[in-house]
């Protein structure tokens, strides 16, 4: 019997190959050579890549036997996860492999920008000895602002606190008690920018975070601010940053990422007070070794039919067939929950009711946590690190299993208590032969709506004309409604409009709706 074929399309460490073991036939090709890749992948059961190999529908169509694509790194920019999912191919990466390297690099950029290392080096190479021109500033005694207190943000704070820095942070998904344990004071975004002498960005790139630090925020900054972004491009508005640096409204910047990459022509690269590098945060031997070993383990699990904790789409392994369809639904419920809450819960209950409770449903708790944190942390969320992320943010998690389900064959509910004592809940089920996903309750209101890519929820006082008002504002904004549910608990009481729309609703349209219907709550959720 022939061995499963593992195709390695880019250079990986010998330790990675050794970790695969003798149970596979190892083949190699140049993933950047398109013709060679398409020919080689035809017989592959697993494909291992880094960043140079593009795994798109053409590659997946050519890979008749492919079961898993593994990227030895954190991001998945070169892998079409949606196409892989449609093809039934598992996608895995190494979500925590570069955390230390990325944190250290943020510190390196901060020091280099504060001490003018790059322009001083360039001047010396030109034969100029001009020490006085490059007088810098110390980190000691200064205030460090961390934008995004996830795993990497915490590592940066831990490394810079011994420099004698006072650390503040902005992250609405971290409990104040957890931040206090780290010696970090939580503040709002405006305060973070205004008080920081040094500021480091550690957020994921999402529709909500793109352009988060722009002209209005930089106008509040000290002229001495040194801003570092080694997370994701686009979170800092590059046009606004250029103007602030050019006009001396902030002192310097250290950049490892850009909105569009590769980037070689940004005007930021012409400024002497900018230290810029080509996305090197994860480029250490140690990070690459960790990534290679992690994906080798995942490939072994995937090809042996075991649960793969670092899978970002489909799951394999010892999960009951009746439970598996609930995994993607539960992840979506987690993302909806976070969108509704707008903050991290202190207590989160994952309630599973119905026939599937005859099986082990622990994986649904993990799926819920994976969804809850997917859009709010910088690192890739997996079944391994999701419980750790909850613990780091002070979220207590409980799996509640109840065989009785009066209204649905199976029902999954996420119910959380927020910092002010209020509760947020969302329920979902699968219906029909095709197991179609439905949201069936939101914050106690009964609904029946598909969890589409773009959702919105408005809570307001029940009275005539409100639905037409909402529809009119969305129509003026060019937003097409794909589905709508109106629910109320009693006549004249609170009502909920739940919407599925074709495209994301602009912030100004949401604000107009809130004002027009006097909504007590307006929430948009992006599941794209």
CA distances from 207 to 200, 211, 335, 444 (A): 20, 9, 14, 28
200: exposed, middle or buried (Cβ count in 10 Å: 0-12, 13-18, 19+)? buried
CATH code of 113's domain: 3.40.50.720
Final residue in a domain of this structure, among 318, 341, 368: 318
Tally the domains of the chain. 2
98: exposed, middle or buried (Cβ count in 10 Å: 0-12, 13-18, 19+)? buried
Among this protein's residues, is 261 annotated catalytic?
Answer: yes
Q: Are residues 121 and 249 in the same domain?
A: yes
Domain assignment of residue 328, yes or no:
no
In 30-41, which positions are buried (b, 16+ CB within 10 angstroms) versus exposed (e)? ebeeeeebeebb
Domain assignment of residue 8, yes or no:
yes
Q: Which of 151, 202, 232, 454 is catalytic?
A: 232
pLDDT at site 489:
84
Q: Rounded to an integer, what distance in angstroms lies between the CA atom of residue 224 and that of residue 252? A: 8
Nearest to 184, CA basis, from 202, 166, 200, 196? 166
Phi, psi of 55 (to 5 degrees): -105, 100
Q: Are residues 180 and 228 in the same domain?
A: yes
pLDDT digits 0-9 by tens, 300-358: 998 987 778 788 876 666 677 788 889 999 999 999 999 999 999 999 999 999 999 99
Q: Are residues 34 and 64 in the same domain?
A: yes
Q: Which of 138, 261, 355, 450 is catalytic?
A: 261
Domain assignment of residue 360, yes or no:
no
Nearest to 426, CA basis, from 517, 523, 507? 523
The answer to whether 5 and 45 have CB atoms below 8 angstroms apart is yes
Q: Are residues 110 and 31 in the same domain?
A: no
The answer to whether 63 and 47 have CB atoms below 8 angstroms apart is yes
Nearest to 21, CA basis, from 4, 9, 37? 4
Q: Are residues 203 and 123 in the same domain?
A: yes
Q: Which of 151, 279, 297, 335 is catalytic?
A: 279
The answer to whether 47 and 68 have CB atoms below 8 angstroms apart is yes
Checking DSSP bridges between strand 436-442 and strand 410-417, what pairing results, if any?
unpaired
pLDDT at site 166:
97
pLDDT at site 228:
98
- 156 preceded by a cis bond (ω within 30 of 0): no
Phi, psi of 507 (to 5 degrees): -60, -35
DSSP 367: H
Q: Are residues 236 and 106 in the same domain?
A: yes
Q: Are residues 171 and 266 in the same domain?
A: yes
Q: Rounded to an integer, what distance in angstroms lies between the CA atom of residue 334 and that of residue 326? A: 12
pLDDT at site 219:
97
Among this protein's residues, is 232 annotated catalytic?
Answer: yes
pLDDT at site 150:
87
Domain assignment of residue 229, yes or no:
yes
Q: Which contacts of 491-494 are long-range, i.e. CB under 8 A and separated by 24 or more positions?
A: 491/462, 492/461, 492/462, 492/463, 493/461, 493/462, 494/459, 494/460, 494/461, 494/462, 494/520
Q: Which two tokens stand for residue 427?
A: 């329920």
Among this protein's residues, is 202 annotated catalytic?
Answer: no
Final residue in a domain of this structure, among 276, 310, 341: 276
DSSP 191: H
Q: Which two tokens stand for residue 62?
A: 């050519």
3-class secondary structure per residue, 400-412? EEECCCCCCCEEE
Q: Are residues 239 and 303 in the same domain?
A: no
Note down pLDDT in tens along the chain; length 528 residues. Answer: 689 999 999 999 889 999 998 999 999 999 999 999 999 999 999 999 998 999 999 999 999 999 999 999 887 889 998 888 888 789 999 988 889 999 999 999 999 999 999 999 999 999 999 888 999 999 999 999 999 998 899 999 999 999 999 999 999 888 888 899 899 999 999 999 999 999 999 998 888 899 999 999 999 999 999 999 999 999 999 999 999 999 999 999 999 999 999 999 999 999 999 999 999 998 999 998 999 999 999 999 989 877 787 888 766 666 777 888 899 999 999 999 999 999 999 999 999 999 999 988 989 999 999 999 988 887 777 777 788 889 988 899 999 999 999 999 999 999 999 989 999 999 999 998 888 999 999 999 999 999 999 999 999 999 999 999 999 999 999 999 999 999 998 888 999 999 999 999 999 999 999 999 999 999 999 998
Checking DSSP bridges between strand 46-49 and strand 68-71, what pairing results, if any?
parallel
* pTM exceeds cut of 0.85: no
Q: Are residues 124 and 193 in the same domain?
A: yes
3-class secondary structure per residue, 291-327? HHHHHHHHHHHHHCCCCCCCECCCCCCCCCCCCCCHH
pLDDT at site 123:
93
Q: Rounded to an integer, what distance in angstroms lies between the CA atom of residue 289 and that of residue 293? A: 6
Q: Are residues 12 and 86 in the same domain?
A: yes
Checking DSSP bridges between strand 198-201 and strand 143-147, what pairing results, if any?
parallel
pLDDT digits 0-9 by tens, 375-397: 888 777 777 778 888 998 889 99
Q: Are residues 24 and 166 in the same domain?
A: no
Residue 113 CB partners (closer than 8 Å, separation 6+): 226, 228, 252, 253, 254, 273, 274, 275
Domain assignment of residue 376, yes or no:
no
pLDDT at site 2:
86
Q: Rounded to an integer, what distance in angstroms lies between the CA atom of residue 140 and that of residue 162? A: 9
Domain assignment of residue 241, yes or no:
yes
Full residue range of the structural domain in which residue 40 is found = 1-95+282-318
Final residue in a domain of this structure, among 226, 243, 276: 276
Straight-line distance from the first to the last Cα atom of the chain, in angstroms, rounded to the nearest whole number: 42
The answer to whether 442 and 340 have CB atoms below 8 angstroms apart is yes
pLDDT digits 0-9 by tens, 407-429: 999 999 999 999 899 999 999 99
SS3 content of the chain, % helix, strand, coil (to 5): 35, 25, 40
Q: Rounded to an integer, what distance in angstroms lies between the CA atom of residue 178 and that of residue 370? A: 20
pLDDT at site 285:
92
Domain assignment of residue 528, yes or no:
no
In 441-466, which positions are buried (b, 16+ CB within 10 angstroms) versus exposed (e)? bbbebebebebbebbbbbbbebeeeb
Domain assignment of residue 90, yes or no:
yes
Q: Are residues 144 and 291 in the same domain?
A: no
Instruction: Write down the residue that tokens 């909920």 correspond to.
Output: 496
pLDDT at site 314:
66
Q: Rounded to an integer, what distance in angstroms lies between the CA atom of residue 305 and that of residue 416? A: 34
Q: Rounded to an integer, what distance in angstroms lies between the CA atom of residue 407 and that of residue 118? A: 65
State whether the Cα torsion 43-47-48-52 is positive or negative.
positive
């Amino acid at each position: 019997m022939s061995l499963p074929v593992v195709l390695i399309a880019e250079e990986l460490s010998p330790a990675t190959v050794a970790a695969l073991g003798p149970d596979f036939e190892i083949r190699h090709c140049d993933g950047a050579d398109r013709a060679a890749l398409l020919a080689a992948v035809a017989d592959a059961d697993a494909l291992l890549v880094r960043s140079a190999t593009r795994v798109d529908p053409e590659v997946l169509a050519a890979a008749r036997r492919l079961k898993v694509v593994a990227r030895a790194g954190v991001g998945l920019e070169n892998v079409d996860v949606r196409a892989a999912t449609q093809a039934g191919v598992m996608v895995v990466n190494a979500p925590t492999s570069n955390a230390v390297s990325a944190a250290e690099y943020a510190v390196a950029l901060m020091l280099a920008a504060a001490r003018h290392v790059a322009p001083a080096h360039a001047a010396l190479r030109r034969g100029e000895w001009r020490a006085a021109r490059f007088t810098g500033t110390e980190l000691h005694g200064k205030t460090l602002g961390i934008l995004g207190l996830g795993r990497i943000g915490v590592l940066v704070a831990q490394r810079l606190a011994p420099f004698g820095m006072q650390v503040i942070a902005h992250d609405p998904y971290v409990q104040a008690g957890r931040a206090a344990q780290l010696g970090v004071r939580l503040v709002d975004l405006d305060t973070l920018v205004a008080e920081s002498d040094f500021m480091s960005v550690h957020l994921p790139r999402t529709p909500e975070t793109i352009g988060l630090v722009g002209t209005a925020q930089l106008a509040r900054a000290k002229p001495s601010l040194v801003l570092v972004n080694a997370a994701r491009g686009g979170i800092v508005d590059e046009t606004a940053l250029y103007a602030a640096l050019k006009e001396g409204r902030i002192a310097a910047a250290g950049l490892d990422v850009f909105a569009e990459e590769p980037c070689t022509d940004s005007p930021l690269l012409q400024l002497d007070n900018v230290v810029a590098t080509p996305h090197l945060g994860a480029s250490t031997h140690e990070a690459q070794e960790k990534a290679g070993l992690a994906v080798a383990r995942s490939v072994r699990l995937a090809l042996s039919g075991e649960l793969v904790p670092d899978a970002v789409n489909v799951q394999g392994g010892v999960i009951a067939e009746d439970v598996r369809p609930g995994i993607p639904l539960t992840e979506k419920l987690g993302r909806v929950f976070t969108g509704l809450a707008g903050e991290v819960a202190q207590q989160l209950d994952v309630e599973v009711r119905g026939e599937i409770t005859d099986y082990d449903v622990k994986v649904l708790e993990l799926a819920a946590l994976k969804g809850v944190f997917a859009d709010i942390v910088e690192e890739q969320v997996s079944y391994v690190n999701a419980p750790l992320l909850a613990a780091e943010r002070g979220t207590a998690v409980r799996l509640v299993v109840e065989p009785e389900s009066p209204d649905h064959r199976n029902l999954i509910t996420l119910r959380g208590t927020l910092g002010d004592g209020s509760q947020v809940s969302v329920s979902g089920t699968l219906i029909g032969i095709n197991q179609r996903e439905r949201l069936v309750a939101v914050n106690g209101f009964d609904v029946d709506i598909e969890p589409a890519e773009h959702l919105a929820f408005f809570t307001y006082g029940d009275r005539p004309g409100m639905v037409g008002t909402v529809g009119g504002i969305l129509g003026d904004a060019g937003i097409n409604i794909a589905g709508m549910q109106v629910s109320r608990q009693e006549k004249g009481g609170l009502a909920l409009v739940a919407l599925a729309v074709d495209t994301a609703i602009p912030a100004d349209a949401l604000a107009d709706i809130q004002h027009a219907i006097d909504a007590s709550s307006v929430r948009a959720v992006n599941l794209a």
